[in-house]
Each structure stands twice: as C-alpha cells, then as structure tokens.
Amino acid sequence: MKNMPDPHVCREKVWMPFIANELGGSNPECVVVGHSSGAVAALRLAERQKLKGIIKWLGMTPTWYDANERASGYFDRPFDWAAIRGNCQFIAAVGGSLDDLVDIDIQRRVACECLGLAAGRTGAEWLELSDRDHFFTPPFNELVDLLERNVSALSSSDPKPC
C-alpha cells in the first residue's frame, strides 16, 4: 500500500489524482474506504464517477473548526449528495460517539440526512459505535464486518481488486 501524499492538509487537487491513478479509484468496480479526510475524498470521488461502493469512516469536520480542512479544497463548494448516491451501488458510514474531532451530530446528519443511510440497512448503512473515538488505533473489526455485509448483499459478483 502506498502512503497518501500531502498527509497533513490532504489537498483535493493532490489526493484525487493519486486515488484515481495510483490506488485504482477510477475503476467502477472499486470499493473506496476513506477515513477522516479520506472519507471526504471518497465522497468527492463518488460525485464524479461510478463506484461499487464507499465506506465513509468518519469525516466532515466543519471548516470553521480546522484550518487544514479549509485548505484542503473539499469544502469550497456544496456536495452533490444525489450524484454520490446515484454513483454507488452501496454506501456505508461509520461514526464514533466519543470522537473529539468530528462531532457525532455532524456525522449522523451527513450519514442520515444527506446520504439517506439508516442503522441496519444493508446497502445504505449507518453504523454508530457508542464506545469509539476517531479510530486512530486498530483493530477495526467493525469495518471488515461492514464491508463484507454490504459487498455480499450486492446482486453482482464479488468486487474485483483495485
């Protein structure tokens, strides 16, 4: 696995070409799993193209809260939630209620109101973990379970590796 370039500011203009060209994110059979700023990148990628699915693992810090998020470029324009939903065969999101970087209310609003996700709804699933924070320390068994559950529910064949 390659390290993401520009790991502190996570600029969209740097990350999007890297995800598409180096990580296989331009493949419509790809499942993109993004954590924190990577979750926002996954949303922006799904606005532009078809994907097998995305898992948004946290993300969406308000730009007034964090200078790096303001500088990243992801929040310079509104998100096209309809395009994101339409370009993915499944979307799942995970939030930790103890997260001190991304407020759980913001995580819930993005997942449920903007993306139309709901707890326990495979294919459009919101998973809120009451005892977790920003997930800096593995393991993340919940991620594997969420990924397997949503991919296996698709009527098409297993996703091809990216």
Instruction: For residues 128 and 113, give the distance between their C-alpha atoms in angstroms, rounded to a whole number.
Output: 15
pTM of the model: 0.88
- Residue carrying the six token digits 């390290």: 3
What is the tens place of the pLDDT at every residue in 68-120? 888 999 989 999 999 999 999 999 999 888 888 888 888 899 999 999 999 99
What is the tens place of the pLDDT at every residue in 37-76? 889 999 999 999 999 999 988 777 665 567 888 899 998 9
Is 76 tagged catalytic?
Answer: no
**Catalytic option among 36, 76, 80, 103:** 36
Residue 9, helix vs strand vs coil: coil
Is 99 tagged catalytic?
Answer: yes
Is 35 tagged catalytic?
Answer: no
DSSP per residue over 65-128, as a string?
Answer: T-HHHHHHSTTSS---HHHHHHHEEEEEEEEETT-SSS-HHHHHIIIIIIS--EET-TTEEEEE
**Catalytic option among 35, 37, 72, 99:** 99
